[in-house]
Copies of this chain bind each other. A is one copy, B any other.
Amino acid sequence: MASREKTEQIRQQIIKSTDDLLYRKGFNLMSFSDIAEAANVPRGNIYYYFKTKDEVLAAIIEYRIEQMQNMLNDWDKTIKTPLERLKRFAQVPLKEMDNVTQYGCPMGTLNAELGKTQYELQHIARIQYDTFLKWLKKQFNELTPDKNAGNLALHLLVQTQGLSVVAHSYADKTLVRREVKNIENWLESLV
């Protein structure tokens, strides 16, 4: 039982360090050697914890969604109005500016990569979007009950994804600031 705990602990360690690796290299360029090195675990050992690379991805997505849920719960608790909560979401690219300009959006780049030929994996990666969209929809419903909250949520996602792609392509931090400000103005205009 103690050993099962240890197994789970190492598994979590692999997931955590590989999460960042996946973000920085993308799925197809991320090798098992990379994973082993990042997690500081002997190469062959990874296969004891994950049978395939696909399983590693699934575990990372699960981990990411858990983190996201914690963050969203925290926002629900600490941020009082739906408008401020939506603004907080829009500010993610701003707070993650260095990463976004260097590696793009972790969700968007992964979905774009997997969406071309690796459909099953993309469907797993997409759950990250689902999680945000569900929460955004709830916020928009509170903000403007008469408008279509689902479409507003998607539109907000479109904006953040678009700015991430272009900011990443040009490593342009000014663009992030300008576009986030623009989103905030749009959100305020809805009330």
Q: Give the B-binding residues of A (Cβ under 8 A).
A: 24-26, 28-29, 103-104, 108-109, 111-113, 115-117, 122, 126, 129, 151, 154-155, 157-163, 165-166, 168-170, 175, 178-179, 182
B168 touches A163 (CB 8 A): no
| Nearest neighbor of A171 in chain B, beta-carbon distance | B115
Task: A178 to B155: give the CA distance in the assembly, Å.
Answer: 9
A18 → chain B, closest Cβ, in Å?
Answer: 15
B168 touches A112 (CB 8 A): yes
Q: Which of B28, B117, B166 contacts A161 (CB 8 A)?
A: B166
Contacts of A165 in B (CB 8 A): 108, 111-112, 158, 161-162, 165
Q: Which of B29, B116, B160 contacts A109 (CB 8 A)?
A: B116
B151 touches A29 (CB 8 A): no
Q: Which of B108, B117, B162 contacts A158 (CB 8 A)?
A: B162
Task: A158 to B126: give the CA distance in the assembly, Å.
Answer: 21
Given A158-B159, A161-B165, A112 contacting B109 (CB threshold 8 A): yes
B104 touches A112 (CB 8 A): yes
Q: Which of A163, A166, A168 has the most CB of B within 10 A?
A: A166
A168 touches B115 (CB 8 A): yes
Q: Which of B28, B109, B170 contacts A28 (CB 8 A)?
A: B28
A115 touches B129 (CB 8 A): no
Contacts of A159 in B (CB 8 A): 158-159, 162
Q: Could you write out 12 A-B pairs with CB less than 8 Å apart?
A: A25-B116, A29-B116, A104-B115, A109-B112, A109-B116, A111-B165, A112-B112, A112-B113, A129-B169, A151-B178, A157-B162, A161-B165
Contacts of A151 in B (CB 8 A): 178
